[in-house]
Amino acid sequence: MLTGTKSLAAAGRLKQAPPGRYRWRICALLFFVTTLIYLDRQVLGVLAPELQRVIGWNEVQYGNIVSAFQVAYALGLLLAGRFIDGVGTRLGYALAIALWTFATTGQSLARTVLAFAVARFVLGLAEAPNFPAAIKTVAEWFPKNERALATGIFNSGANIGAIVAPLTAPWIAIHFGWPWAFVFMAAIGVVWIALWVSNYRRPEKHTKLSPAELRYIQSDPSEPVVAVPWSKLLPHRQTWAFIAGKFLTDPVWWFFLYWLPKFLNTRFGLTLSALGWPLVVVYTMSMGGSIAGGWLSARLLERGWSLNAARKTAMLTCALTVLPIVFAATARNFWVSVTLVGLAAASHQGWSANLFTLASDMFPKRAVASVVGIGGFGGAVASSLTATFTGFVLQITGSYFPMFVIAGCAYLLALLVVQLLAPRLEPVQLSEAA
């Protein structure tokens, strides 16, 4: 009955939403910049075969370039939240994307392995504030009943960026030269900064926001904000369950981003102009997987399953559907291989949807962001180590088979560790002084 009452209240509140829609313009800017950031991440992978030919790096050196980004991204995650809280969302976001634009331009000028590694390192630092700043912006501009929708909208930019990159970067590289793929992105970054600075203020200070919409945005009761230090979270097994899940599986997604184009080029001889549509298929499948993974656990909960059983059954399903990727490296048919990778990418996104939810299942709201930050740091560190390891494996063996085997087994191992550390997904009790 209580749940039904809450649902009715939420529905009534949605009907009372004012005609003002300025908050969705802010959400559109978050979507725009998230798409841009993931566009850049994917462009390096798409252009990697061409850059390897032009610049002459080997597999180990490419792995080190990827690792440089991951190390900086991990370090940036440790500092990004406090940076954004300290200088404010408007200035902090603008400074981060200005640094991102500088680093992206640096990639267009790089002609050595060291220069690319430095540019990617700076890029990693610049990208780290994106999600903390975006989440904070949503909290500032949307009432609770709209925050999930707003977050889902801007976060979908990650998949859009991964789809747009293989359709645009090869065409730009073929017609204008590969440096222009980075130049164009940097130019878009400048445009975004101008739009952000001119459009963003805190709601209570924004002159273009109607009084009715401001009241709607601020309609939730105020909440005390109490920072939870890592020292209060690390002793809990549930924290380490989330860290382990990110540590063991995040590297697989980054492997897809940075090495899938090289795999298709090496295994099937795809040229730069032919890489687009296979990558579009893979990342379109990944979008569907993200929705399906969240739907499955929600559906099981609706049928009366326990939270523990629903979440872990969904995660087990995703872990099992990743397994066929071990055959992708040896498949003779091109589209069979692409489909197997697409299935694994979709399964990863479904897995991630449930893994992120575990944080809110096991921790109070005031600690969720910190737990996610710790897990993100662990995932970035693991991705950095895996990037270097991948380079050595490919340099020594010349085969992608070992990496696909590791990718296929990672999720079952991660689920086993989660089960051992959090067998019942018990909520963590934190003292108010934390």
Angle between helices 59-87 and 237-268 (to 10 degrees): 140
| Residue 220, token pair as written in the block | 């939730």
- In tens, the pLDDT along 82-140 reads 788 788 889 999 999 999 999 999 999 999 999 999 999 999 999 998 888 887 888 78
Dihedral sign computed on CA atoms, order 294, 296, 299, 303: negative
Contact between residue 193 and residue 97 where contact means Cβ atoms under 8 Å apart = yes
CA distance 231 to 228: 8
- In tens, the pLDDT along 187-197 reads 999 999 999 99
CA distance 46 to 283: 13
Domains of the chain by start residue, with CATH? 22-218 (1.20.1250.20), 228-425 (1.20.1250.20)
Task: Provide the pLDDT for residue 363.
Answer: 86
Task: Provide the pLDDT for residue 14.
Answer: 42
Task: Provide the pLDDT for residue 38.
Answer: 86
Q: Report the C-alpha dihedral over residues 155, 157, 160, 164, rounded to 10 degrees.
A: -150
Greatest CA separation for the chain: 66
CA distance 376 to 362: 17
Closest CA to 257 of 35, 406, 409, 41: 41
Contact between residue 210 and residue 342 where contact means Cβ atoms under 8 Å apart = no
Task: Provide the pLDDT for residue 372.
Answer: 79
| Residue 368, token pair as written in the block | 């969720």
Contact between residue 255 and residue 403 where contact means Cβ atoms under 8 Å apart = yes
Task: Provide the pLDDT for residue 231.
Answer: 85
Task: Provide the pLDDT for residue 267.
Answer: 93
Closest CA to 283 of 190, 162, 187: 162
CA distance 119 to 104: 7
Task: Provide the pLDDT for residue 394.
Answer: 95
| Residue 86, token pair as written in the block | 């300290």
DSSP state of 203: G
382-398 as b/e: b if 16+ CB within 10 A:
bbbebbbbbbebbeeee
| Residue 9, token pair as written in the block | 């209240």
CA distance 278 to 320: 23
Task: Provide the pLDDT for residue 370.
Answer: 77
158-187 as b/e: b if 16+ CB within 10 A:
bbbbbbbbbebbbebbeeeebbebbbbbbe
Task: Provide the pLDDT for residue 367.
Answer: 79
Mean pLDDT by 10 residues, the chain (434 residues): 39 50 91 91 89 90 93 88 82 95 95 94 93 82 76 78 90 94 95 95 88 84 65 93 96 94 93 89 89 86 93 96 96 96 94 85 78 87 95 95 97 98 92 55
Contact between residue 260 and residue 340 where contact means Cβ atoms under 8 Å apart = no
The CA-based angle 286-350-338, given to 5 degrees, is 35
CA distances from 255 to 70, 188, 383 (A): 12, 26, 8
